[in-house]
Every structure is written in structure tokens, then in C-alpha cells.
């Protein structure tokens, strides 16, 4: 009996605070706007019709009469919609009493190892046991109900925080297959969570969220448990187990076995992004093995770059140029006349007969 | 007599229902949930663990919460 009384004293203040939040949530729901424009038009039409009749504009008067009927219908529909909307915004079948909330808090203290209400942040939290799913240890989670967010009508006024996080190796924000950035992907629990919060059944709310955390839906996780320790290939984006991933020798990126390539020069594991084709032989080499042609600056592999540090094209051009330079551009002097014969089109001179 | 039933399976609706005098927790569970195994559910009466044969009293609050609820993204 004394224990019960002591327990009630501990939870009485948080229960009162919670009650205030839920009461405020009840009254804070905005009322739907009235169809004022439709009403204004309905008020206008009789005056316009009177004017039309006064000026003997009978066609216009008839049209206004028809419009009046049509506007009346629209106004009626809008009001019916408003009634439906108003009823829909009142989903609570049970408003939590102080007694309900107190009983919920006491039951939470029985079900969870650590139940806290932080009066400065207005966060009610419980801690789960360490959760292990398919042999992947995810650690304990703190489920935090942010009471202030209850008032603002936030869709998810709670967070799920990993206390000893063992996040997926592919995404630090995924601390549980169904939790990313502290937000729970509710799936089958969505409606039950929403209803529990709307009705102020906080014990049910925490139990449902905890049960969601204890369950793994392999059909739709943020990151599957099979891939929990996997690594994403930087090239193709596929998730692979760590032993199927190789590090690129150039950019140190994580590359899967299917995407990894080798440098034709040094034979090092390299991703395709770090390889460049040699224009001479079309072999792919890393930047460390490629050298620039002194003439055209093209990257070439060591076997294609000549001793003069030119690519095959520039080397060939150079060869041709050299041959061209060594070929005499002027004819030798004519032994008979002693006059040099100029090359064709280079200039003209009289040729002795 | 009337009891409050909170069925967190699916919609999570809370309704006052009529049950005959002397009805047990098992009776209500079978009527509302069917033949699914009770071990898949956390069943509480007035937020306390209960036996399947516990006889319900007027105004009792029964909550039935699945132990396996699948999240989905």
C-alpha cells in the first residue's frame, strides 16, 4: 500500500503535465474555414437580379436566378463537407483522465527498466531492453515522447534513440532496420500508434513502439539485417559483404568485385573512375602510370610514350617533320646554267632555254 | 456488463463492449481476435498481466497488443 502511494506521488506531477498537454491538444485543433466566398456571392445575386429586372435585362435576370440555385447547392455541399470534417477532427472516444494517465505511468514503470519525465524539456521517455534481431545486437533504445509536440499536432511527436548505437555500416543514421534519424517507420503500427496518442493512452503507445522495435520486417527495412555489416560499392551502388569489397589503390574508394579493375601499368586494384585509356594502345592505366606527352599533353602509358616523351601521334608527326626538314627544299644548281631552280609554287624565275 | 476493449491490432480502437457476466479474458480474446495464438499478444486487464481464465468485472479495461508489429519504410 505504502509502495503504491509512493509510486503515485512520483508520477502525479508528470501525469498532471501530460493531462494539460492532452487537454490543450483537444482545444487547439483549428476549426475549418467557412465558405465565406460562396456566401458573399449568394448575397450579391439577389441585388444583381433586382438591377437586371429594373433595366429590363430579362436574360441576365434569368441567368442570375439559375446561378443562385447553383450557388445554393454548392453552399449546401460545402456545409455538409464542413460537418464531416468537423466530426473527423474529433477522433477521441476517450479523453485521458488524471487517473488514466497515472495508471499508465505506473504500468510503464512496471514494464520498462527506466521511465523518466524531464520537466525542463517536457519529454517522457522509456528505455527498452537491449534489442537483438537475427543475431545483430542493436542495443537498448530510448523512446522519447515530446509532449510539446503533442500540442502542435506533429505527426510523429516521438523519437527513438539508440543508447548504444550499432548502426548499419552503410548509413550511420540507421540504428535499427526500421529507424532512421531517430524516426520510426511505423508500418503496420501506424494506425495503432496514432490512435493511442490521440486518445492519450501513453502506456499502449510505448508498448506498441517497443514491440515494433522488437520485430523485424525483412520485406521493408531501411537497411536489411543481412546487409547490416555490408558496404556500398562506390561505383555501382550495390551493397556487398565486406569481404567482397576492395579498396581502390588511387582514391581509396570501396569497390565491389564486379566493378574493380586493374591498372595495365602497375596491376593495382583501381576503380574505373581512376583509370584513363591510353590513346596509343587503349589500355587503362592509373594516373600514377600515365605520363603526359610533351607536345599535346595527352596522357599515355609508359609503353606507348617514346623516349622523347611523346605520344605515338606526336611522335609520328615529329618523325614526318624531321623527314620533311631533311628533304632538300630547293633544287641543286643547274650544272649548265649555275642557276638554282626553285621549287614549284615557291616563287618564279626565268629558266634558261 | 460493459468492459472497455482496446484492440491495438490494426486500428488500435477502443470501445466499450457488452460481455456476459462471468466472461473470461480468453472468451473476449477468442471473440475479438479469433483463433490466433494468444502468445502473439500482450493481453492486459487494467494494465496488469492476467491469466486467460480471469473473470472480467464491470468496467474492466482489456488491452490486446500484438507482440510482433512490423515496421515498414
The per-residue pLDDT for range A244-282, each reduced to its tens digit, is 888 888 888 888 888 888 888 888 888 888 888 888 888
B18 touches chain A (CB under 8 A): no
pLDDT at position A320: 83
So what's the pLDDT on residue A1? 46
Q: Give the closest of B65, B68, B73 to A207, CB-based.
A: B65
**Which chain A residue has its CA at the smallest distance from B9's CA?**
A192
Tally Cβ neighbours within 10 Å of residue A204. 26
pLDDT at A80 over 50: yes
Contact list, B13 vs chain A (CB under 8 Å): 93, 195
Residue A223 within a domain:
no
User: Which domains, and CATH codes, for chain B?
Assistant: 2-66 (3.10.20.30)
Predicted confidence at residue A194, as pLDDT, reads 87
User: What residues in A contact B73, CB-CB < 8 Å?
Assistant: 178, 180, 185, 187, 220-222
> Does the structure show a pLDDT above 60 at A228?
yes
Please indicate whether, in this complex, the C-beta atoms of A195 and B65 are within 8 angstroms of each other.
no
In this structure, the answer to whether residues A191 and A256 fall within a common structural domain is no
Given pLDDT bands bounded at 50, 70 and 90, which one contains residue A216?
Answer: very high
- Structurally, chain A folds into a number of domains equal to 2
The answer, yes or no, to whether residue A236 has pLDDT greater than 70, is yes
- B66 min Cα distance to partner chain A (Å): 8
Q: B45 in contact with A at a CB cutoff of 8 Å? A: no
pLDDT tens-place string over residues A326-345 = 655 555 555 555 555 555 55
Same domain, yes or no: A189 and A307: no
Summarize the confidence of residues A72-87 as an average pLDDT: 81
A93 confidence band (pLDDT: 50, 70, 90): very low
For residue A14, being part of any structural domain is answered with yes
pLDDT of A50 > 60? The answer is: yes
Model confidence at A189: pLDDT above 50:
yes
Last residue of a domain, one of A160, A180, A214: A214
Element (H, E) at B16: strand B13-18
A173 touches chain B (CB under 8 A): no
Give the CA distances from residue A146 to residues A131, A178, A183, A221, in Å, rounded to whole numbers and listed in that order.
23, 20, 13, 25
Same domain, A109 and A199: yes
- Among B15, B39, B67, B70, most A C-beta atoms within 10 A, so best to mutate, is B70
Same domain, A18 and A125: yes
**CB contact (8 A) between residue B70 and residue A184:** no
Residue A350 lies in a domain: no
Both A139 and A15 in one domain: the answer is yes
Residue A325 counted as domain residue: no
Query: Which of the pair, A115 or A6, is modelled with greater confidence?
Result: A115
Separation in Å, CA of A129 to nearest CA in chain B: 15
Residues of A in contact with B47 (CB under 8 A): 103-104, 106-107, 203
- Shared domain for A119 and A185, answered yes or no, is yes
Decide if A79 touches B, using CB distance below 8 A.
no
- 3-state secondary structure at position A188: helix
Residue of A nearest to B42 (CA): A207
Domain presence at residue A339:
no
Residue A167 lies in a domain: yes
Residues 193 through 212 of chain A touching chain B, CB cutoff 8 Å: 193-196, 199, 201, 203-204, 207-208, 211-212
According to the model, what pLDDT value does residue A47 have? Answer: 93
Output the average pLDDT for chain A: 83
| pLDDT for A223 beyond 60 | yes
- What is the rounded distance in angstroms from the CA atom of residue A23 to the CA atom of residue A27? 7
CB nearest to B6's CB, from A189, A193, A204: A204
pLDDT in tens, B31-71: 988 888 999 999 999 999 999 999 999 999 999 999 999 88
Distance, in Å, from the CA atom of A45 to the CA atom of A67, rounded to the nearest integer, reads 8
Given this model, what pLDDT does residue A28 score? 54
Looking at the fold, whether A165 and A255 belong to one and the same domain comes out as: no
Q: Does B33 touch chain A (CB under 8 A)?
A: no
| Judgement on whether residues A18 and A159 belong to the same structural domain of the protein | yes
Residues in A closer than 8 angstroms to B8, CB to CB, are 192, 196, 204, 207-208
One domain for residues A6 and A99: yes
Asked whether residue A10 falls in the same domain as residue A124, the answer is yes
- Which residues from chain B sit within 8 angstroms of residue A222, using beta carbons? 73
Mean pLDDT computed over A178-186: 94
Task: Give the Cα separation of A104 and A21 in Å (integer).
Answer: 15
E strands, chain A, in order: 114-118, 123-127, 131-133, 136-139, 141-146, 158-162, 174-176, 179-180, 183-184, 231-232, 239-240, 245-247, 254-256, 261-262, 269-270, 275-277, 284-286, 291-292, 299-300
Residue ending a domain, choose from A179, A197, A214: A214
- Indicate yes or no: CB of A208 within 8 angstroms of CB of B13: no
Q: How far apart are the first and last CA of chain A?
A: 142
Among A214, A249, A273, give the residue marking a domain's end: A214
A144 and A243 part of one domain: no
| pLDDT more than 70, % of chain A | 82
Position A238 scores a pLDDT of 80
B72 to chain A, closest Cα gap in Å: 4
pLDDT at A209 over 80: yes
Does residue A279 form part of some domain?
Answer: yes
Return the higher-pLDDT residue of A22 and A48: A48
ipTM of the complex: 0.91
Range of the domain at A279: 239-318
For residue A30, what pLDDT band results from cuts at 50, 70 and 90? Answer: low
- Scan residues 46-65 of B and list those with Cβ closer than 8 Å to A: 46-48, 63, 65
A205 lies in the same domain as A245: no
At residue A89, the 3 state secondary structure works out as: coil
Regarding predicted confidence, which is higher, B3 or A307? Answer: B3
Contact status of A115 with chain B (Cβ, < 8 Å)? no
Helix (H) or strand (E) holding A21: helix A2-28
Model confidence at A101, in pLDDT bands (50, 70, 90)?
very high
Answer yes or no: do B69 and A215 touch at CB < 8 A: yes
Q: Does residue A109 belong to any structural domain of this protein?
A: yes
Q: Which grid coordinates are listed for A137?
A: 545486437
Q: How far apart are CA A223 and CA A216, in angstroms?
A: 11
Most distant CA pair in chain A: distance in Å? 142
Amino acid at each position: 500500500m505504502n509502495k503504491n502511494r509512493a509510486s503515485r506521488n512520483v508520477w502525479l506531477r508528470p501525469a498532471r503535465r501530460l493531462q494539460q498537454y492532452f487537454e490543450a491538444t483537444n482545444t487547439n485543433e483549428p476549426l475549418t474555414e467557412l465558405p465565406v466566398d460562396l456566401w458573399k456571392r449568394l448575397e450579391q445575386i439577389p441585388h444583381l437580379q433586382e438591377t437586371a429586372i429594373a433595366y429590363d435585362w430579362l436574360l441576365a435576370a434569368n441567368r442570375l436566378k439559375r446561378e443562385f440555385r447553383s450557388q445554393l447547392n454548392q453552399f449546401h455541399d460545402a456545409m455538409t463537407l464542413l460537418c464531416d470534417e468537423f466530426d473527423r477532427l474529433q477522433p477521441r472516444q476517450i479523453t485521458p483522465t488524471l487517473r488514466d494517465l497515472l495508471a499508465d505511468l505506473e504500468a510503464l514503470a512496471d514494464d520498462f527498466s527506466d521511465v523518466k519525465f524531464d520537466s525542463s524539456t517536457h519529454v517522457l521517455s522509456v528505455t527498452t531492453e537491449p534489442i537483438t534481431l537475427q543475431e545483430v545486437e542493436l542495443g537498448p533504445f530510448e523512446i522519447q515522447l515530446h509532449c510539446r509536440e503533442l500540442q502542435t499536432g506533429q505527426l510523429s511527436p516521438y523519437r527513438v534513440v539508440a543508447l548504444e548505437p550499432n548502426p548499419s555500416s552503410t548509413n550511420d543514421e540507421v540504428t535499427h532496420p526500421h529507424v532512421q534519424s531517430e524516426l520510426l517507420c511505423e508500418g503496420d503500427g501506424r494506425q495503432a500508434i496514432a490512435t493511442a496518442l490521440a486518445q492519450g493512452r501513453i502506456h499502449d503507445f510505448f508498448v506498441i513502439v517497443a514491440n515494433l522495435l522488437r520485430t523485424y520486417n525483412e520485406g521493408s527495412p531501411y537497411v536489411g539485417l543481412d546487409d547490416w555489416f555490408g558496404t556500398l560499392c562506390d561505383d555501382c551502388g550495390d551493397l556487398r559483404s565486406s569481404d567482397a569489397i576492395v579498396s581502390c589503390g588511387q582514391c581509396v574508394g570501396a569497390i565491389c568485385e564486379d566493378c574493380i579493375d586493374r591498372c595495365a601499368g602497375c596491376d593495382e586494384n583501381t576503380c574505373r573512375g581512376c583509370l584513363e585509356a591510353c590513346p596509343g594502345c587503349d589500355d587503362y592505366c592509373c594516373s600514377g602510370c600515365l605520363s603526359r606527352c610533351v607536345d599535346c599533353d595527352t596522357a599515355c602509358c609508359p609503353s606507348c610514350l617514346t623516349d622523347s616523351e611523346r605520344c605515338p601521334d606526336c611522335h609520328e608527326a615529329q618523325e614526318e617533320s624531321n623527314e620533311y626538314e631533311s628533304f632538300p627544299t630547293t633544287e641543286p644548281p643547274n650544272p649548265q646554267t649555275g642557276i638554282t631552280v626553285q621549287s614549284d609554287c615557291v616563287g618564279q624565275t626565268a629558266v634558261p632555254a | 456488463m460493459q468492459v472497455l476493449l482496446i484492440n491495438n491490432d490494426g486500428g488500435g480502437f477502443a470501445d466499450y463492449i457488452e460481455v456476459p457476466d462471468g466472461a473470461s479474458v480468453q472468451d473476449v480474446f477468442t471473440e475479438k481476435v479469433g483463433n490466433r495464438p494468444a502468445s502473439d499478444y500482450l493481453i492486459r486487464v487494467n494494465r496488469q498481466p492476467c491469466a486467460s481464465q480471469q473473470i472480467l468485472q464491470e468496467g474492466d479495461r482489456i488491452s490486446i497488443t500484438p507482440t510482433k508489429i512490423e515496421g515498414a519504410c
